[in-house]
Amino acid sequence: MADEATAQIRGPYRKGVERREQIIRSASDVFGELGYIGGSLRTIGDRVGASPATLIQYFGSKEGLLAAVLEDWTKQQSRSSLADDPPGLAYFRALITVTEFHVEHRGLLELFITMAAEATNPGHPARQFIQRRYDTVLAKCIGKLREAVDRGEVAPITDEQIAAEVRILIAVLDGVELQWLLGADIDLPAVVSRHLEQSIANWKTGRTLS
Amino acid sequence: MADEATAQIRGPYRKGVERREQIIRSASDVFGELGYIGGSLRTIGDRVGASPATLIQYFGSKEGLLAAVLEDWTKQQSRSSLADDPPGLAYFRALITVTEFHVEHRGLLELFITMAAEATNPGHPARQFIQRRYDTVLAKCIGKLREAVDRGEVAPITDEQIAAEVRILIAVLDGVELQWLLGADIDLPAVVSRHLEQSIANWKTGRTLS
């Protein structure tokens, strides 16, 4: 939709839209590599031949640029998968496609992990975005696992157990992706898939401790 | 040992040692909060009333200061626990004390997570340190789980399964600690303890998929 809309725009305005997108791409790379605090407007601008003043003109401030980068991240990430929103247990098996997407789009993953680590500082401008992202993903997974219980796909595990299982699952995804980004010699989708199947096996037999 | 040695040193030299330690503490905080790239010598110096030139005088360069910070981190972290090096399965139960230590020393955890996320950039000066740290922790845990197999504390799981289980365990520790740093309303040691017990239960019955 967005691409079609862009294609219909002509002239100087369209050029501005393209320029804006170039800057967002550059900022995504730089924030992922150097962090938000360490990634300067100068560095971001240099990669696309724009001055810091031009960046401010487009985004108002460095925080404004960060907001655009995070919005873009959300858009890119949503292309990854799970668009079909599979029900219950199928949702967790489909999570493997997110990992595969990250292997193909390493920059998106690096940006998220770097922003999340920086946002452990309460004053960080991405903190609220990151917190909301975790809340959204947790709530989604909790809903899906509860659905799996209701559909009889897994044992009747309690809400408390569901919340704990989902939190650990998200920790595993973050943790192994971090190991992979750090150069661990692993087949990332295979590691994640193995863990997902193990978790599902535990859920099916109700082998979750509370 | 180091403290006793410091106490025996007198005069200007001792004052220099104390100053050096002050700067390392400040740098640990600043790198944890703002990252290595974002944490400037100016900011680090300002917190202890020292100029960037003084910092360079003590550590040679910003990278030299980072090396001192990481060395100090290793020393602090080793105070956390596991000093008794419990055998086999007892080692994994003792990991809970590391988490408890991190709750008490949030700054050490924040520094590690921030450096690890930044070091996903191959050119980062902490990359080798972080990679070695992961290698060391992985090797240690693999040895302990193999020991647990040899002692008959768990089912005869294969070396491949052991490696996979340990990788996931470390991912869980990193991942839930990241969630906790981001403000998740969780009892961190309780979440980790629950997961450790669940893993141990799986190992005992050999419920690990390969």
The per-residue pLDDT for range A133-142, each reduced to its tens digit, is: 999 999 999 9
Which alpha helices (DSSP H) does B85-183 contain, by range?
88-104, 106-118, 127-150, 159-181
CB A72 within 8 A of CB A107: no
Domain match, B61 and B89 both: no
CB A89 within 8 A of CB A165: no
CB B56 within 8 A of CB B14: no
The answer to whether B37 contacts A37, with C-beta atoms less than 8 Å apart, is yes
Q: Is B154 an 8 Å CB contact of chain A?
A: no
Domain match, B130 and B181 both: yes
How many contacts, defined by CB atoms under 8 Å, are there between A and B? 155
The answer to whether A179 contacts B171, with C-beta atoms less than 8 Å apart, is yes
Q: pLDDT tens digits, residue range B21-72?
A: 999 999 999 999 999 999 999 999 999 999 999 999 999 999 999 999 999 9
Domain total of chain B: 2
Identify which of B210, B106, B191 has the alpha carbon closest to the alpha carbon of residue A170.
Answer: B191
Domain match, A51 and A153 both: no
- Point out the residue among A175, A197, A210 whose CB comes nearest to the CB of B170: A175
Domain match, B107 and B201 both: yes
Residue type, A82: L
Identify which of B109, B9, B167 has the alpha carbon closest to the alpha carbon of residue A178.
Answer: B167
Helix (H, G, I), strand (E, B) or coil at B153: coil
Higher pLDDT, A96 or B206: A96
> Does A177 fall in a domain?
yes
Q: What confidence score (pLDDT) does residue B210 get?
A: 54
Residue where a domain terminates, one of A68, A95, A126 = A68
Q: What confidence score (pLDDT) does residue A7 get?
A: 54
Q: Is B200 an 8 Å CB contact of chain A?
A: no
> Does B173 fall in a domain?
yes
The answer to whether B117 contacts A122, with C-beta atoms less than 8 Å apart, is no
Mean pLDDT of chain A: 92
The answer to whether B179 contacts A164, with C-beta atoms less than 8 Å apart, is no
Q: Is A8 an 8 Å CB contact of chain B?
A: no
> Does A48 fall in a domain?
yes
> Does A98 fall in a domain?
yes
CB A73 within 8 A of CB A107: no
Domain match, B101 and B183 both: yes
pLDDT value at B7 more than 70: no
Q: pLDDT tens digits, residue range A55-68?
A: 999 999 999 999 99
Residues A140-146: contacts with CB under 8 Å, at least 24 apart? A141/A91, A141/A92, A141/A166, A141/A169, A141/A170, A142/A166, A144/A87, A144/A88, A144/A89, A144/A91, A144/A92, A145/A88, A145/A92, A145/A203
Residue where a domain terminates, one of A22, A43, A68 = A68
CB A99 within 8 A of CB A180: no
Q: Is A113 an 8 Å CB contact of chain B?
A: yes
Identify which of B171, B159, B6, B29 has the alpha carbon closest to the alpha carbon of residue A170.
Answer: B171
Residue in B closest to A192 by C-alpha = B168
Q: Is B119 an 8 Å CB contact of chain A?
A: yes
Non-local (6+) Cβ contacts of A54 within 8 A are A45
Domain match, A87 and A140 both: yes
Domain match, B12 and B110 both: no
Q: Which of residues 58-97 of A touch B (CB under 8 A)?
A: none
Task: Give this complex's ipTM.
Answer: 0.91
Non-local (6+) Cβ contacts of A115 within 8 A are A31, A36, A70, A126, A129, A130
- Point out the residue among A37, A118, A167 whose CB comes nearest to the CB of B179: A167
Non-local (6+) Cβ contacts of A77 within 8 A are A108, A112
Domain match, A51 and A84 both: no
Domain match, B27 and B113 both: no
> Rg for chain B (alpha carbons), in Å?
20
Domain match, A124 and A32 both: no
The answer to whether A172 contacts B175, with C-beta atoms less than 8 Å apart, is yes
Domain match, B93 and B147 both: yes
**Residue A8 CA to its chain's centroid (Å):** 29
User: Residues A102-129, buried b or exposed e (16+ Cβ, 10 A)?
Assistant: beeeebbbbbbbbbbbbbbbeebbbbeb
Residue whose token pair is 């040895």: B143
- Point out the residue among B36, B131, B209 whose CB comes nearest to the CB of A183: B131
The model's confidence at residue B1, banded by pLDDT at 50, 70 and 90, is very low
* Residues of chain A found within 8 Å of residue B183, distances taken between Cβ atoms: 122, 127, 131
> Does B210 fall in a domain?
no
> Does A210 fall in a domain?
no
Non-local (6+) Cβ contacts of B121 within 8 A are A32, A33, A34, A110, B127
CA distance B4 to B121: 39
pLDDT value at B8 more than 80: no
* Residues of chain B found within 8 Å of residue A134, distances taken between Cβ atoms: 179, 182, 184
pLDDT value at A13 more than 90: no
Residue B49's CATH number: 1.10.10.60
To the nearest whole percent, how much of chain A has pLDDT over 90? 85
With vertex at residue B139, the alpha carbon angle to CA B136 and CA B144, rounded to the nearest 5 degrees, is: 125
Structural domain for A147, as ranges: 80-204
> Does A75 fall in a domain?
no
> Does A74 fall in a domain?
no
To the nearest whole percent, how much of chain B has pLDDT over 90? 85
Domain match, A94 and A36 both: no
The answer to whether B113 contacts A134, with C-beta atoms less than 8 Å apart, is no
